[in-house]
C-alpha cells in the first residue's frame, strides 16, 4: 500500500484533471489505469489538520489539531497526540512494514529544541527516511528571487530524528525522497513482507523548485516544472513496483493535502473551475485531485463522482489489510471498499448520495457538503482573478507571500444567517446562490444532522495556539544563525 501525498496541488493542476497546458505525466497515467475521484475532499484547507485526518480517519477538531495558527509551526511544543491511533500503527499490528519519507508537518519537539517527540517514528512508522518535519515555505527560497537567503529557523531537514541540514537544499530533495522510498520497497519485497509507504512530497508548496537531478521545465513555468518533477517521482516508484513484480499486489493512492494557493500568482496552484483556494472553504480550498490504482481489482479508467473524504482511505486501507478500526473513539472515515472494488457499477451513476461532510476552520464550522449541496455558515472573501492579478508582477510573478484572509475568527470572516447555499453538482464554481426560502427542507435536514453530529462531538484540546521558543529546532545552539551542513 502506498499513499502519495502532494502539497498544495489544486484540483485543476494536472493534465488528467483538465489543465490545458500542463504536460502529461505518470500521475495522469495512474488516472488512466485506475479510478479518478471528482468529489474527493480534504478535511481542511491547510496542511496540518488535513494530514492529521488522513492518518487517523478523524476530524481535526476531535484530535485537537486546531487553534490560533491553524498549523503546527516550528516553535510549537505540540504535535499529533500519542493517543491517536494512526494508519501505520494499525497496519504494523497486522504485519506490515511501515515507512515514511517527505513532509510531516504534524509536530516536532515539546519543550527542548532536539527532543523530537512528535516526529513520525513515534506514530507508527518503523522506518523514516529524509523528512521535512515542518514544510517547505516561501522563506526557504534558494533562487534569490524572493529571499536573499533561506531562513534557517523555518527550513530544516531531518534523517529520521536527526537534523542533517539547516537550512535545507532543494537540489536533490525529490530524488532523495524517491531513492530512499525505492530502497524501502525493495527491502520489504525481498523479505516477502507487505508494506505501507507514505511518500509525502514537498511539491508544489512554495518555495518553487526543481532539482539538479531532473532539471524539468514546463510551458507553465516554474510551477508546471514542479508538477512535472512531482509526477516524475511518482513514476519512478511505479517503475520500481513493476520491476519487482508486485504491481498487481500494490494499492496506490495519490492526492493533495488541500487546494492551490491562488494568491501566489503563477507560483500558486490552479483549482480549475472551483472557487477559492488554500486557507478558505470554498470548493477550491478542499476539493482535491484523488486517484486510486490497483490492477486487477480497480477497473481502469473509472470515474468516481461520489462524495468521498480523504478520511475514508484510513478505514478502507485498514479493512483491505485485514485490520480493525478503533472501537473506542469516533472514526469519521467510511469504508469505501465496495465502491472501489465494484467500480464497474460507478460508470452510469447520475445521482449524488446524501452524505454529509463537515468542514471546520479551527473550531468554527464553516461549511458542510450534503448531497448535491454546499451550505456555508461562514466564508472568507475571495477576489476575482483580475483582482489577484493586480498584486502580481510581470508575467504573474508573485511579489509577496500572503493570504487574502487566513485566521478564524478574524475581521475578514463573514457570517451567514441564513447560510449560503450552492448546488455544487450543477454549479461547482459556487457562483449562483440558492434562495434559502426555497430550500427550507434542505436546511432542516442539515440542522438535524448537525445536531446529531454535535451531540457526539468531543473536541480535542487546542494544539495549534501554543508558542514556545525553546521548542524551535536547532542543529547547533552555539551558532546564532543555527545553520549546519548547508551546501
The values of phi and psi at residue 166, to 5°, are -150, 110
**DSSP of 367-412:** EEEETTEEEEEEE-----HHHHHHTB-GGG-B-S---SS--SSSTT
Strand-pairing partners, residue 365, are: 360
Contact status, residue 33 vs residue 293, Cβ threshold 8 Å: yes
- Which of the following is catalytic: 19, 47, 155, 261? 47
Residue 47 annotated in active site: yes
- Name the catalytic one among 19, 105, 118, 123: 105
Reading the block at residue 337, the C-alpha cell is 471498499
Residues 276 and 292 sit within 8 Å (Cβ to Cβ) = no
Q: How far is CA 349 from the centre of its chain?
A: 27
155 carries an active-site annotation: no
**Are the C-beta atoms of 128 and 355 separated by less than 8 Å?**
no
Task: State whether residue 247 is helix, strand or coil.
Answer: helix
CA–CA gap between residue 220 and residue 127 (Å, rounded): 36
Pairing verdict, β 252-256 and 127-132:
unpaired
3-state SS assignment for residue 278? coil
Distance CA 227, CA 173 (A): 14
Cα distance between residue 306 and residue 349, in whole Å:
9
Residue 372: partners with Cβ closer than 8 Å, 6 or more residues away: 352, 423, 424, 425, 426
Please name the residues in contact with 261: beta carbons below 8 A apart, sequence gap of 6 or more: 8, 205, 206, 268, 269, 277, 278, 279, 403
Whole-number Å distance between alpha carbons of 150 and 116:
23
Q: Which sequence positions are flagged as catalytic? A: 47, 105
Amino acid at each position: 500500500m502506498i499513499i502519495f501525498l502532494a502539497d498544495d496541488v489544486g484540483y485543476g493542476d494536472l493534465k488528467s484533471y483538465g489543465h490545458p497546458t500542463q504536460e502529461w505525466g505518470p500521475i495522469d497515467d495512474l488516472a488512466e489505469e485506475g479510478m479518478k475521484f471528482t468529489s474527493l475532499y480534504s478535511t481542511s484547507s491547510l496542511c496540518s489538520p488535513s494530514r492529521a485526518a488522513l492518518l487517523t480517519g478523524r476530524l481535526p477538531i476531535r484530535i485537537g489539531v486546531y487553534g490560533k495558527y491553524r498549523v503546527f509551526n516550528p516553535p510549537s511544543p505540540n504535535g499529533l497526540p500519542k493517543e491517536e491511533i494512526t494508519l501505520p500503527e494499525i497496519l504494523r499490528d497486522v504485519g506490515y512494514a511501515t515507512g515514511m519519507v517527505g513532509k510531516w508537518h504534524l509536530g516536532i519537539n515539546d519543550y527542548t529544541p532536539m527532543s523530537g517527540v512528535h516526529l513520525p517514528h513515534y506514530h507508527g512508522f518503523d522506518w523514516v527516511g529524509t523528512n521535512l518535519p515542518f514544510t517547505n515555505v516561501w522563506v526557504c527560497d534558494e533562487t534569490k528571487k524572493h529571499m536573499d537567503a533561506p531562513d534557517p529557523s523555518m527550513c530544516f531537514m531531518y534523517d529520521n530524528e536527526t537534523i542533517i541540514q539547516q537550512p535545507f537544499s532543494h537540489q536533490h530533495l525529490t530524488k532523495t525522497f524517491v531513492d530512499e522510498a525505492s530502497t524501502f520497497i525493495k527491502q520489504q519485497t525481498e523479505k516477502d513482507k507487505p508494506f505501507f509507504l507514505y511518500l509525502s512530497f514537498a511539491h508544489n508548496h512554495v518555495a518553487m523548485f526543481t532539482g539538479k537531478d531532473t532539471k524539468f521545465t514546463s510551458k507553465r513555468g516554474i510551477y508546471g516544472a514542479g508538477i512535472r518533477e512531482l509526477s516524475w517521482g511518482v513514476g519512478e516508484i511505479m517503475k520500481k513496483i513493476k520491476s519487482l513484480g508486485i504491481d498487481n499486489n500494490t494499492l496506490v493512492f495519490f492526492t493533495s493535502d488541500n487546494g492551490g494557493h491562488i494568491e501566489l500568482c503563477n507560483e500558486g496552484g490552479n483549482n480549475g473551475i472551483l472557487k477559492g483556494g488554500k486557507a478558505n472553504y470554498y470548493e477550491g480550498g478542499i476539493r482535491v485531485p484523488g486517484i486510486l490504482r490497483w490492477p486487477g481489482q480497480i477497473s481502469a479508467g473509472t470515474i468516481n463522482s461520489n462524495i468521498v473524504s480523504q478520511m475514508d482511505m484510513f478505514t478502507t486501507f485498514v479493512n483491505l489489510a485485514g485490520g480493525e478500526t478503533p472501537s473506542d473513539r469516533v472514526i469519521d472515515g467510511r469504508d469505501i471498499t465496495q465502491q472501489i472494488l465494484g467500480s464497474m457499477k460507478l460508470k452510469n451513476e447520475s445521482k449524488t448520495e446524501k452524505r454529509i461532510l463537515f468542514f471546520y476552520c479551527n473550531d468554527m464550522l464553516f461549511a458542510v457538503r450534503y448531497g448535491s449541496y454546499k451550505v456555508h455558515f461562514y466564508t472568507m472573501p475571495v477576489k476575482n482573478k483580475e483582482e489577484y492579478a493586480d498584486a502580481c508582477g510581470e508575467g504573474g510573478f508573485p511579489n509577496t507571500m500572503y493570504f487574502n484572509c487566513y485566521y478564524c475568527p478574524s475581521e475578514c470572516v463573514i457570517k451567514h444567517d441564513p447560510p449560503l447555499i450552492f448546488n455544487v453538482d450543477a454549479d461547482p464554481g459556487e457562483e449562483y446562490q440558492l434562495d434559502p426560502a426555497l430550500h427550507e427542507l434542505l436546511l432542516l435536514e442539515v440542522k438535524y444532522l448537525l445536531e446529531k453530529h454535535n451531540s457526539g462531538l468531543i473536541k480535542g484540546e487546542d494544539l495549534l495556539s501554543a508558542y514556545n521558543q525553546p521548542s524551535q529546532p536547532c542543529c547547533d545552539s552555539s551558532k546564532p544563525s543555527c545553520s549546519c551542513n548547508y551546501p
